[in-house]
Every structure is written in structure tokens, then in C-alpha cells.
Amino acid sequence: MRYLLFYKPYDVLTQFTDGDGLSHQATSKASASSHMQRRTLKDFIAVAGVYPVGRLDRDSEGLLLLTDDGKLQHRLTDPKFHHPKTYWVQVERIPTVTELEPLQRGVMIQRRRTQPAIATLLFPAPDLPPRDPPIRYRKTVPTAWLEIILTEGRNRQVRRMTAAIGFPTLRLVRVAIGDLTLKGLAPGEWRELTPDEVRGLKRRSPSP
């Protein structure tokens, strides 16, 4: 079995092919006039048979787990196991503690209330590699960084949650999945999990 951690850069699809089934690398060999495909996992990971556990949006960055262990993949994505995922989120304007409280109670997105989250201000701002391209700043609007910990994974959930309380997301980085973190990885890099890390994942994901 293979278990990989990948630091997904911005503007990379969480899949190994683009919509028409061609990877960016394959398309780059075509004529200069052909349409260039978007970057995918295949541009970074030359390991056959592994698949991402869950998703990370194209415009999000950060930690992605890949494996060929189908049973573990299923358990990690089953919401009943409440696997925590930690995000660092740059938002427009600076929310107060009171303004973050709805996230901790749950907010309505897509006609359904989110599970309670942990949401706190990060100060100072986290030390992250610069994004390429950088976010678009508005000179008259300050920004803040939040740490948000979720135990569910709905479509564009973090962005919808911060928008629901009036603080649009500018940059989103997943920094941890359970006890696994980005430590030691740069954007575009991946590594194998250690045996201890694999055992830890399986302990947190018992068989039903």
C-alpha cells in the first residue's frame, strides 16, 4: 500500500487528468497553437494507482493525502468519523471574536447548517510561501488570517462559511489533516507517510 502527502499548489486540479483526459504534460507536447490544459496531480506525482482522499479546490492550497488503500480512503471520507482538517484562511477585513461565533455554532450554507467549527484569529500572520499569482489586495480594505478546523467536507465549505458571516475568503491553505501537517514540504513536493503515521491514521479510522 502507498500513502503520500502532497503540498498542492494554487491552480492545480485535485485529479490526475484534466476534463478531456489529457494531462498538462501530455498536452505540452502538442503544437503551440493547441489549448494548454490546466495543471493536475500528474504534473507532480509519478506514482501509479494512488487517488486523493477527498478534494481540495483548484484555487485552494495545502495538504492532500493520496493512497491506494481503498478501505482507509472510504473511512477517512466518511463524515461519521469526524476527522479534523485545519485551514488557514485569509479574509477581507478583520473579524471580532463575536463575529466568528456563528462559525462555532454552525451557519446555513446551501440550505443546510454546518457542523460546529473551531474558528480563531491568527496573529501574527502565518509564515507561508507566497502564492503565485498573489491575491488581489484592496488598499483600503485590511485583511486577517483565521484558523478554522472542520470535521466535515462540503463543497467550497470554508469559502461559503466566511462569506456567510461577511468576510470573503482571499486565500485558503489546508495545513493539517488530523495529525498530519505540511511541515517539511514546499508547494509541489510530496513524501511517503512513515509507518507510525500510517498506524496513526488507521487508529483514527477504525473499521465499522
Residue range 168-196, pLDDT digits in tens: 999 999 999 999 999 999 999 999 999 99
Residue range 117-152, pLDDT digits in tens: 999 999 999 999 999 899 988 888 999 999 999 988
> Is the CB of residue 64 less than 8 Å from the CB of residue 56?
yes
Element (H, E) at 61: strand 61-67
Residue 137: the pLDDT is 83
Cα–Cα dist 177/69, whole Å: 17
Which residues are known catalytic residues? 57
Read off the pLDDT band of 22 (50, 70, 90). very low
- What domains, with CATH codes, occur in the chain? 1-81+185-208 (3.30.70.580), 84-177 (3.30.70.1560)
Of the listed ranges 17-21, 33-37, 111-115, the one predicted with least confidence = 33-37
pLDDT greater than 90 at residue 25: no
3-state helix, strand, coil in the chain (%, to 5): 20, 25, 50
Residue range 81-118, pLDDT digits in tens: 678 999 999 999 999 999 999 999 999 998 999 999 99
